[in-house]
């Protein structure tokens, strides 16, 4: 029987995570006992997480981002609540931004980094993957649009360059080794290039969803499955398969201890 909590502090689980190949992160264990993982080298290199409030999306972003950091990736963590990802401030390969001006500037810099990578004359395999973890993404995008509207000049483009940068990262991420973990419900108002933004994500992770949310974000796997009210219980959709999955629980302390002192198995 699947346990109702999968703690990273369990030695067996930690060893399983540390044995994963580069570019792969464990989401959790399915009710059938299968390890369910994200593969950044899959058809689409991005991950969509969508839950109702309190559904565990922040924990999911922390767990996935930490695993990629352990493998040598760098990360940009956008934290509009400012306190959801304090773990990220303690790590040298992570840029954490909370206030909207900082988020805007970080995404503008992301656009330059994506361009630099695409123009790179050589093999990008030796360039660290860049994880862009966007918590509360819909709120972040609304704030970015308002920020740009307030500060842009008459001759500036109407669309926020920060939002355009995030959209560009979604479209060319595979080629640039840039991968977005998007916590929210993408829609064409934010990403004008497509009316079905969920198609950009090979892995869709849902919890506490409505039937409408499931139909919009996982149309290949209708009807919506029944949900169980266990903390950390998600439904993971990959291609046309759906897996009810108990997610790995990694606390802030787990992440910081693991990434700053990986030989410490007492953390």
Q: How many angstroms separate the CA atoms of 74 and 29, rounded?
A: 26
- Sign for the CA dihedral angle at 163, 167, 168, 173 comes to positive
Task: Report pLDDT digits (tens) over 205-219.
Answer: 999 999 999 998 988
pLDDT digits (tens, 9 = 90+) for 163-186: 999 999 999 999 999 999 999 988
Measured CA angle at 141 (ends 205, 195), to 5 deg: 65
Instruction: Say if residue 1's pLDDT is above 80.
Output: no
Does residue 267 have a pLDDT over 50? no
What's the whole-model pTM score? 0.94
- The pair of structure tokens assigned to 234 is 């998600």
What pLDDT was estimated at residue 100? 97
Total number of residues shown for the chain: 267
d(CA 97, CA 77): 6
Give residues with Cβ within 8 angstroms of 150, minimum separation 6. none
């Amino acid at each position: 029987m699947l346990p109702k909590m999968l703690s990273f502090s369990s030695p067996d689980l930690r060893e399983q995570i540390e044995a994963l190949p580069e570019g792969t992160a464990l989401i959790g264990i399915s009710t059938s006992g299968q390890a369910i993982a994200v593969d950044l080298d899959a058809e689409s290199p991005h991950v969509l997480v969508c839950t109702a409030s309190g559904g565990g999306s922040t924990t999911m972003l922390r767990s996935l981002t930490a695993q990629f950091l352990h493998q040598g990736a760098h990360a940009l963590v956008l934290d509009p609540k400012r306190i959801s990802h304090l773990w990220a401030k303690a790590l040298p390969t992570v840029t954490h931004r909370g206030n909207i001006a900082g988020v805007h500037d970080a995404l503008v810099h992301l656009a330059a980094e994506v361009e630099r990578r695409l123009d790179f004359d050589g093999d990008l395999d030796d360039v660290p993957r860049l994880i862009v973890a966007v918590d509360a993404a819909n709120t972040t995008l609304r704030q970015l649009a308002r920020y740009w509207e307030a500060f842009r000049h008459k001759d500036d483009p109407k669309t926020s360059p920060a939002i355009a940068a995030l959209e560009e990262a979604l479209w060319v991420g595979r080629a640039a080794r840039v991968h977005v973990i998007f916590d929210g419900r993408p829609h064409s108002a934010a990403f004008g290039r497509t009316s079905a933004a969920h198609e950009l994500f090979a892995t869709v992770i849902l919890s506490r969803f409505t039937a409408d949310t499931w139909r919009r974000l996982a149309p290949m796997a209708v009807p919506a499955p029944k949900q169980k009210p266990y903390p950390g219980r998600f439904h993971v959709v990959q291609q046309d398969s759906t897996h009810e999955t108990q997610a790995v629980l990694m606390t802030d302390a787990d992440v910081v201890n693991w990434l700053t002192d990986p030989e410490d198995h007492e953390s």
